[in-house]
Amino acid sequence: MDKKQKENEIWGQWITIDNYRNYPALVNTLADFAGDNILGFVYIDHVAGTTLEVVKLFNNVDGKIEFTDSPLEKEIRVIIRYAQFSQTHFQVIHDRFLGDFEFTKPSYIESYNRNDLTEFRNNEAFDIYRAEGFPDDVQIILFANADVDDKFEPELVWGRVEKYSNADKLGFYNLLVQPHQNLGINKNEKLPFKLMNVDDKIRIVSIATLVETKKESKPWWKIW
């Protein structure tokens, strides 16, 4: 990896991976293509996480770039997930060109844009709670609804953020796991959350109340 860059530093960037055959997982992915090096664009797939789209393959011949293959020209998509390419010695390209290729990301990458999540993705307070390689998935403290018996303990769960506002620090997420306790909610249901101070530490807090049924008369984030 180039200077051990943070994951969020490579979103929306072009990178190269030299001598990709040094990495067995990549060899299998690119078995039908010619070339020793990868040129690709990094984007966020909301569900599958940080992803590298392979755009070109190339060789370095006497200090010059020679493009050897292109999945796009063959109408094939080759994608590599973060867990695989993060283990390589990739380099971020800051110029507009590599050889005679001007960097233009494939038009279909635009379909992955989530401008409504820009504030959330750029908010560093969430970083310690994000799943590596899955920037929209975070660990959340889930409390029982205030109307439920006090026998339930706070529970750590994973959620995929669908909406967030820095202004009020409120958002919504889809629950990715089934809670261990019977809190009256289930995996894949939509819940609210708040970024707030708990015991002198910023945490992501949620109440086991479905968005469709939460009471407007009482703020759901009041946990005391």
User: Which stretch of DSSP H or E encloses residue 69?
Assistant: strand 64-69
Which tens digits make up the pLDDT trace of 68-77? 999 999 999 9
pLDDT at 60 over 80: yes
Which tens digits make up the pLDDT trace of 162-192? 999 999 999 999 999 999 988 889 999 999 9
Instruction: Find the DSSP H helices in the chain.
Output: 24-29, 82-85, 118-122
Q: Cα separation of 163 and 193, whole Å?
A: 10
Query: What Å distances lie between residue 140 and 146, 154, 180, 205, CA to CA?
Result: 17, 10, 14, 6
Ordered DSSP codes for 8-35 = GGSTT-EEEESSGGGSHHHHHHTTT---
Domain ranges of the chain: 2-112, 115-207
pLDDT at 3 over 60: no
